[in-house]
Chains A and B, each alone.
Chain A
Amino acid sequence: AQTVTQSQPEMSVQEAETVTLSCTYDTSESDYYLFWYKQPPSRQMILVIRQEAYKQQNATENRFSVNFQKAAKSFSLKISDSQLGDAAMYFCAYRSYDSNYQLIWGAGTKLIIKP
C-alpha cells in the first residue's frame, strides 16, 4: 500500500523569503500523480500544484514550484517570496495512475509566515 509522509509538522518563514516543505512517499508503481493542497483557516482545500510522475520536468505555478525526485520518492514544495496569505496547512497527496478515486494524504505541515 502507498504511504505519504510529511516529516515537518510546522514550519515558519519570514515574509518575502523562501521556504521548502518536504514530502516523501512509498510506492511500487511507476505511474502516478502527486499533489500539493493548501488548507487555510477557512478549511477550504485548494490545489496548489500537481506533478505527473512520467514527467521529468518539475512543475511550477507562479511562486510555487516542486522538486520531484522520482528515484528518491521525494516531492518537496518550494514557496518563493512568501506572503502572509500563504499561511496555511499544506498537504501532500498521491494518486495511482489508474485510480479515479483514491488520494493518499500526508499528515500536513503548518506554515507560519512571520511579518
Chain B
Amino acid sequence: NAGVTQTPKFQVLKTGQSMTLQCAQDMNHNSMYWYRQDPGMGLRLIYYSASEGTTDKGEVPNGYNVSRLNKREFSLRLESAAPSQTSVYFCASTPLGQSYNEQFFGPGTRLTVL
C-alpha cells in the first residue's frame, strides 16, 4: 500500500499560470480532502469530497477547483495562480465507517507562485 500519494512534490509557477495537483489513495477510502498549510498557521480546508461524485467547499475555496475523478483520485486545480497561493498543499483521505474519521495524509506539495 502506497497510502496517499501526491504529485508533484515541488512546483514553481508564474502569476497567472495554471496547474493541477494530483492526489491518489489506494486504501479504498470514501472521503478525500485538500488542505493548505501556511507558516504559523494550522491546516485550512480548501475543498473536500465526502464520496465519489460529490465535492464541497471548505474554509478557503476561492481560486481553486477540484475534481473527484473516481474513488481513488482527487485533483486540485489552480486556474490562474496568484502569489497568495504560495503554500504547502496536503491531500488527505478517510475511510467510511470509522467513527472518529482519522485522516491519512499525503507527503504534500510545496508550491511557489512568483
A residues at B contact (CB < 8 Å): 4, 9, 33, 35, 42-47, 50, 52, 91, 93, 95, 100-108
* A46 to chain B: closest residue by CB: B105
Q: A interface, by DSSP: helix, strand, loop or mixed?
A: strand
Whether B88 contacts A43 by the Cβ 8 Å rule is: yes
- Contacts between the two chains (Cβ within 8 Å), count: 56
* A51 to chain B: closest residue by CB: B100
When chains A and B are docked, how far (Å) is the Cα of A43 from the Cα of B87? 13
Given contacts A43-B107, A105-B44, A107-B42, contact A100 B50 (CB under 8 A): yes
Contacts of A95 in B (CB 8 A): 100-101
Number of residues in B with C-beta < 8 Å to the partner? 24
Whether B42 contacts A108 by the Cβ 8 Å rule is: yes
When chains A and B are docked, how far (Å) is the Cα of A102 from the Cα of B90? 14
Interface-centre pick from B42, B56, B92, B103 (highest chain A CB count, 10 A): B42
Whether A100 contacts B101 by the Cβ 8 Å rule is: yes
Whether A101 contacts B56 by the Cβ 8 Å rule is: yes
18 new A-B pairs (CB below 8 Å) besides A44-B108, A105-B43? A9-B40, A42-B107, A43-B88, A43-B107, A43-B108, A45-B43, A45-B103, A45-B105, A91-B42, A93-B42, A95-B100, A95-B101, A101-B31, A101-B50, A102-B58, A105-B41, A105-B42, A105-B44
Contacts of A52 in B (CB 8 A): 99-100
- Cβ 8 A contact of B48, one of A33, A42, A44, A101: A101
Cβ-based interface call for B27 (8 A) = no
Q: Would you mind naming 12 contact pairs between A and B with Cβ atoms under 8 Å apart?
A: A9-B40, A43-B88, A44-B108, A45-B43, A45-B103, A50-B102, A52-B100, A91-B43, A101-B31, A103-B103, A107-B41, A107-B42
